[in-house]
Amino acid sequence: MLGGPKPVAALDLLRRLGLMHAVFGHDLGTDGRPGVAWEALRLLDLGLGREARRDLMAAAALLPVREERVPAAKGRHTSLAASLLRTALKWPTRSGERVEALHAAAPQLLQVLQEGLRGEDGAVGKESLQVTLGRCLLALKDSWREGCLLGALLGSPTDPAGTAEGCRSLVAAVGGWGLQGCWEWKPPVNGRRVMALLGVSGKEVGPVMAAITDWQLAQPGGSARECEAWLLTQTRWAPSVREATAPEAGDGSVEK
């Protein structure tokens, strides 16, 4: 039933029969958010396929345990939600990974919604929120719409209309801020150019590339030249920048 057309009804039946622990091996409580998510989804036109809807409902149902971790193979840990889906329901590994990613992104998407789109007190700068939104998209990729709904659900856990409104605002922000498809973008400056420009190497390159990703999310459409100019102003790499732009370079060009 959970994989069928009425996953919320299936969850409700399991709760009423007291079978949640028997099926999942964990008491998920009586949280009503899956029903709210389902009703909000009916108010929206997100174009989600069957598997995407199923995983979204699972993510909503498992929100109460989203921060719980359990041991996994080779001494590692995984989320309780992903473990339950894999071991109790025998769902594909990709579903567990998708739900885990949705749970990780939802609080950040709620922050963007509350501080950037609804103007609550204590709002941080738009650029910072834009980067936060972009980072969520990079993690969720094609599941970003489900993430928008789940983030809105955290802010309106009992209100389907409020959840739908919040989801619409987040989806609109993705387009309005030019972030749609950002997970497919190539960096404006590659690692080899970073090494030549800043004089960094090895493990030093990774943090620079991460900063370039944030710059690109904050400046969609920014050129390689603009990115390089920005890199040379960043004091966090000051020693390398001074070496790369030392006077002996002559006309101020970067030493290769």
Q: Are 151 and 189 contained in the same domain?
A: no
Whether residues 151 and 198 fall in one domain: no
**Any domain includes 254:** no
Q: What is the mean pLDDT of the chain?
A: 83
**Claim to verify: residue 161 and residue 195 sit in the same structural domain:** no
The residues, any chain, with a CB within 8 Å of residue 160's CB and separated by 6 or more, are 36, 39, 40, 42, 43
pTM: 0.80
Check whether residue 232 and residue 128 sit in a common domain.
no
Give the model's pLDDT for residue 14.
59
- The verdict on residue 93 lying in a domain is yes
2 lies in a domain? no
Higher pLDDT, 120 or 89: 89
Domain termination residue (choose one: 153, 182, 211): 182
What is the total count of domains within the chain?
A: 2
- Which residue did the predictor score with more confidence, 11 or 114? 114
The residue ranking higher by pLDDT, 103 or 77, is 103
- pLDDT tens digits, one per residue of 164-187: 999 999 999 999 999 999 999 999
Has residue 209 been placed in a domain? yes
Alpha-carbon span 43 to 163, nearest angstrom = 10
Q: Clarify whether residues 97 and 193 are in a common domain.
A: no
Query: For 208-254, what is each residue's pLDDT tens digit?
Result: 999 999 999 999 999 999 999 999 998 777 544 445 444 444 444 44
How many DSSP H helices and E strands does the chain contain? 13, 2
Task: Say how many C-beta atoms besides its own lie within 10 A of residue 163's C-beta.
Answer: 28
Confidence check: pLDDT of 102 > 90: yes
pLDDT digits (tens, 9 = 90+) for 41-59: 999 999 999 999 999 999 9
Boundary (domain end) residue, out of 163, 182, 201: 182
Cα 132 vs. chain centroid, distance in angstroms? 8
- The average pLDDT across 157-168 equals 96
Q: What percent of the chain has pLDDT over 70?
A: 77
Pair (120, 208) in one structural domain: no
Domain that holds residue 191: 185-249
Give the model's pLDDT for residue 193: 94
Evaluate whether residue 255 is within a structural domain.
Answer: no
Say if residue 56 is in the same domain as residue 71: yes
As a whole number of angstroms, the distance between CA 55 and CA 78 comes to 17
Asked whether residue 107 is domain-assigned, the answer is yes
In a domain, 228, yes or no: yes
Average pLDDT for residues 111-116, to the nearest whole number?
90
Domain boundary residue among 182, 204, 230? 182
Least confident of 24-28, 163-167, 188-192, 196-200: 24-28
Give the pLDDT band (50/70/90) at residue 109. Answer: very high
Residues 100 and 24 in one domain: yes
pLDDT of residue 220: 94
Residue 224, domain member (yes or no): yes
